[in-house]
Structure 1
């Protein structure tokens, strides 16, 4: 089978992929990704934006100025390193918290250095208290979100599915945060919106897969011919192409914002949101298929019903093998018996019987025994 033919069959869903039967492979990949992400969080850490740490933000309308010129004009007055981002035709400069007089001084210096009118330089001061309130509200929203999700999944499905979905969500959060740390992007309120969005997207994918598994495995009983793992893998294979297509369609516009909008068009304020969405969608699709589903199967296989089902199937398979082996042995012995005990042909019976065998003949006739063979009589 050629690669193109196999790819077409896979897209149509004609080829079943054994995902449930390879949990060690998927867990190993996830462990490597999590270790990489934790290393990023410990080594580089998250770069929280001014909305969380507090500071001053200057918006400078100088499209012809370079990033070095803007940074030099600001840093020479603040005495610290600032963060400069491109925001369309403007520059967005973030510094530490400044007083009102210091803000006015920086504005005048930027106007002189970059030859920009003062009224085209806006300033905004964000207090650290406001940033702390934003962080607290974000954590509260996340906790409430997770509680509602667990409650819904436990009622709509069962606690095992809720547990598997929560592990997948934690998996997605750690990996996305780690990649965000390695990238060095600022954590802004838009980043939090992206995180909440990917959590919802990951749950959507998991719910679709779990719903199909629930439907396929519902008729299983002790007399079924397939195990829970096999039934779950069939359900996952039937939704695999659908999940991948959905993710691909959702990623395309996000990738456009991340790679084209922020790089070519200079929309720097969008890259915080787009990076979180881009990474989270990919990782969320992977976790719902390769992490949540195998974990759910491992939990379900411990139930007494499915343990008994697996044992019954194993006994039936072993019995079928024994019967097949015994049937082959009987057929082989029977053929040997037929060869050894072959009945003599009626035409040869008198010759094999010899002179000692009495053969009935017609009355008044006497049958003489043959003397020797035809060749001996000729001689």
Structure 2
């Protein structure tokens, strides 16, 4: 068995473990700090909305000889607006310019053909209306709200309402961080980004539900025992599924990292960044929230219940009683250790006396 597999087995059996619940305030603080940073970045920098949301024109130059910087300079001078230029794998240039209408698009095409020494027949363009992006955004928000509503109902029925609340908090946490990263990095937000955001919701819930299922099984008839508190069982549930969560997250992140860093970064396929960044950040944030946020939050909510409070008192009282008995047993063992030593010493003296008496008797007979 590999070291990771051996560690997973020991975590599952409870032989080793990390106190996630005991350090929950640290993880809460880190999440709050990251979330605040994301919100501030979103408020200050805003999102770099793609042309699908603002409207404009998309120009494509086939087998362009000009560089990206040259094309960007000419496009911005001709349109008077900021231009986004991407080098495609086939050698074509893709130029996006927002807020461009039909009359202006023709003039920009002529300027690109003249300044970049590209035949007009190899330059094509299409106009994109802002209403299409608005419809996508509206439908995405509707889908997000419906999804969260159904998730809360399902988790409340399958588990309990506290777990549903914790899962909802984790979802909001993941979405906020992902959107904030887009604002801080400045990547363009496209319909692909929206698809990526909706996709990560399922991944975010996956690890959370796995831990919740282990917690539900471990806390069945919990008030009938006095060995563990609810928070301790929650901690063991996280540890027992920790290696599984790490493995599934890493396996899911590897292909996404390939799209983001190799496809978008090394190979220059910039259009992959819009969806790959949302998936990468969302998957990482989802794994973090399921381990460090969702389950400790459930334990916090459960520890407020009168029955769970009473259970904690009984468990702690039993442990204190066991510790007291252990101290008494240790003290008694020390006393019993002294008695055999004294008896041994006395016995040794008696044996010595018996051996000396015959010698004295023989001396008197002589």
Report the TM-score range of the alignment, normalised by the length of the smaller protein. Answer: 0.7 to 0.9
Q: Distance in 2 between matches of 1:201 and 1:29?
A: 21
CA deviation string 1:172-207 (max 9, x = no partner): 111111111111011111001110111111011111
Q: 1:214 to 1:11 in 2, by over 3 A?
A: closer
The alpha carbon displacement at 1:264 in A equals 2.5
Alignment of 1:31-110 (within 5 A): 31-88=32-89, 89-110=91-112
The alpha carbon displacement at 1:63 in A equals 3.9
- Answer 1 or 2: which has greater helix percent: 2
The alpha carbon displacement at 1:325 in A equals 3.2
Q: 1:10 to 1:338 in 2, by over 3 A?
A: closer
Size of the aligned set, in residue pairs, is 347
Q: 1:8 to 1:152 in 2, by over 3 A?
A: closer
Q: Distance in 1 between matches of 2:203 and 2:337?
A: 66
Alignment of 1:176-195 (within 5 A): 176-195=178-197
Q: Which secondary structure state, in structure 2, belongs to the residue aligned with residue 243 of structure 1?
A: helix
The alpha carbon displacement at 1:129 in A equals 2.8
Alignment of 1:245-260 (within 5 A): 245-260=247-262
Higher Rg of the two aligned structures: 1
Q: Distance in 2 between matches of 1:29 and 1:9?
A: 30
Q: 1:64 to 1:316 in 2, by over 3 A?
A: same
The alpha carbon displacement at 1:113 in A equals 2.0
The alpha carbon displacement at 1:114 in A equals 2.1
Q: Which secondary structure state, in structure 1, belongs to the residue aligned with residue 66 of structure 2?
A: coil
2:357 matched residue in structure 1 = none
TM-score (norm 2): 0.86
The alpha carbon displacement at 1:143 in A equals 0.9
Q: Distance in 2 between matches of 1:291 and 1:225?
A: 25
Q: Distance in 2 between matches of 1:295 and 1:272?
A: 32
Q: Distance in 2 between matches of 1:114 and 1:341?
A: 109
2:141 matched residue in structure 1 = 139
Q: Which secondary structure state, in structure 1, belongs to the residue aligned with residue 266 of structure 2?
A: coil
CA deviation string 1:281-301 (max 9, x = no partner): 011100011100100111112
2:361 matched residue in structure 1 = none
**Which residue of 155, 158, 162 corresponds with 2:157?**
155
Contact residue 57 and residue 101 of structure 2 kept, 8 A: no
Give unmatched runs, 5+ long, in structure 2.
351-366
CA deviation string 1:274-330 (max 9, x = no partner): 000011101110001110010011111222222222111111112222233344455
TM-score (norm 1): 0.83
Q: Which secondary structure state, in structure 1, belongs to the residue aligned with residue 95 of structure 2?
A: strand
Q: Distance in 2 between matches of 1:116 and 1:27?
A: 56
Q: Distance in 1 between matches of 2:58 and 2:296?
A: 48
1:233 matched residue in structure 2 = 235
Q: 1:335 to 1:191 in 2, by over 3 A?
A: closer
Q: How large is the Cα RMSD of the aligned pairs?
A: 2.8
